[in-house]
């Protein structure tokens, strides 16, 4: 059974300043929310408060509307998976997973039977009698997940559990989380500094910076409609074109681009995702630019261009991410088109 999790005006002060500042966030039942931000932004502290390993200086944590103040960690129905698996070295894999059930009074037979079911879920039943020290990093993390799930938690907290794994193992773990969500539908809060991980695993992303939530919304929204330039940069956006908003349009060297209806008149930055731009023949795009750099990115290439000087003497630059190797060279000129009927502005 899964539950909703809510933080209401949660703050945490450690004496040298506020680590969390007036955090309000709701994670719906069976949803996955990623807390995304740089190291020191307060992500893990918020998770520890939810788990009952730390207490807020102000505010409340609620599960299904019930205030958890004073509820011990072991009675919250919340399981926390850390970056390091922290398995018991003196217990085999099966007994590591069965540990929580044994501590709650279940028989050895019943707790092991339940543990084996969760090892099947993480595809490690064949490793049940192996010592933790003989597992790979990815296998250890799977066991750690199985142990957390064996507690039958209402909420699963993941604190950067895949950050130490190589890229292929990460992909395997992402697929495993998808399987767990489809079979058990737990409520998940994921802490990560990896924007791709947040985008792949979560339904929505809460961007944290210096203890505050800058924006919380669906994955596509925070990518393409960032509330601030800081959100745009955290999500990997490379294009922030200065200009001004007038009569519903952003005016810049890129031209007049219709933007969101509630955009404030005056100075503002046009935010265009590099993936939403395309290279086209000269004069077939909204603007032309001179190629200043080509950066291979595996199956994609990042092309940087300096825009041609506008009639008012202003200029600017853009980054365009294209599939494969584009037919352009440094010093060459290309047109740039925008794949969308309207753009998005963010304040400076």
Average of pLDDT values for 7-15?
94
Reported as a pLDDT band with limits 50, 70 and 90, residue 130 is very high
What residue ranges define each of the domains in the chain, with the CATH number in brackets?
5-224 (3.40.50.300), 237-346 (no CATH)
Please report, for residues 134, 240, 247, 329, 342, the alpha-carbon distance to residue 116 in angstroms, rounded to integers and kept in the order given.
18, 52, 64, 58, 53
**47-75 mean pLDDT:** 96
Both tokens assigned to 348:
């400076």
Q: Which one has a higher pLDDT value, 288 or 316?
A: 288
In the predicted structure, residue 277 carries a pLDDT above the cut 80: yes
Q: What is the pLDDT of residues 98-108, one digit of tens each?
A: 998 888 888 99
Mean pLDDT, the chain, as a whole number?
93
Kindly provide the b/e burial profile for residues 145-168, where b requires at least 16 CB atoms within 10 angstroms of the residue's own CB: bbbbbbbebbbbbbbbbbeebeee
Write the pLDDT tens digit of every residue in 148-201. Answer: 999 999 999 999 999 989 999 999 999 999 999 999 999 999 999 999 999 999
Report yes or no on whether pTM surpasses 0.85: yes
């Amino acid at each position: 059974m899964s539950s909703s999790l809510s933080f209401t005006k949660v703050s945490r002060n450690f004496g040298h300043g506020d680590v969390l500042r007036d955090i309000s966030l709701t994670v719906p039942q069976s949803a996955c929310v990623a807390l995304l931000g740089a190291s020191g932004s307060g992500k893990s502290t918020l998770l520890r408060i939810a788990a009952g390993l730390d207490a807020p200086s102000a505010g409340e944590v609620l599960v299904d509307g019930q205030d958890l103040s004073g509820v011990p960690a072991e009675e919250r129905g919340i399981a926390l998976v850390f970056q390091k698996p922290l398995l018991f070295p003196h217990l085999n894999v099966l007994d590591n997973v069965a540990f929580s059930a044994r501590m709650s009074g279940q028989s050895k037979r019943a707790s092991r039977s339940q543990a084996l079911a969760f090892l099947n879920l993480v595809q490690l039943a064949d490793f049940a009698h192996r010592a933790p020290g003989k597992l790979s990093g990815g296998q250890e993390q799977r066991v750690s997940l199985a142990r957390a799930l064996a507690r039958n938690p209402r909420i699963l907290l993941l604190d950067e559990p895949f950050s130490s794994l190589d890229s292929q193992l990460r992909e395997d773990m992402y697929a495993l989380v998808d399987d767990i969500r489809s079979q058990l539908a737990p409520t998940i809060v994921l802490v990560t500094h990896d924007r791709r991980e947040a985008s792949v695993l979560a339904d929505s992303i809460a961007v944290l910076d210096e203890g505050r939530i800058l924006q919380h919304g669906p994955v596509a929204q925070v990518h393409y409609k960032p509330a601030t330039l800081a959100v745009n940069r955290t999500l990997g956006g490379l294009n922030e074109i200065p200009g001004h908003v007038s009569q519903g349009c952003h005016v810049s060297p890129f031209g007049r681009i219709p933007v969101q209806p509630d955009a404030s008149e005056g100075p503002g930055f046009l935010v265009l995702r590099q993936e939403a731009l395309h290279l086209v023949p000269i004069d077939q795009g909204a603007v032309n630019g001179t190629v200043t750099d080509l950066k291979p990115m595996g199956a994609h290439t990042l092309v940087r261009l300096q825009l041609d000087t506008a009639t008012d003497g202003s200029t600017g630059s853009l980054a365009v991410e294209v599939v494969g190797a584009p037919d352009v060279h440094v010093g060459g000129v290309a047109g740039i088109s925008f794949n969308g009927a309207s753009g998005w502005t963010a304040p400076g």
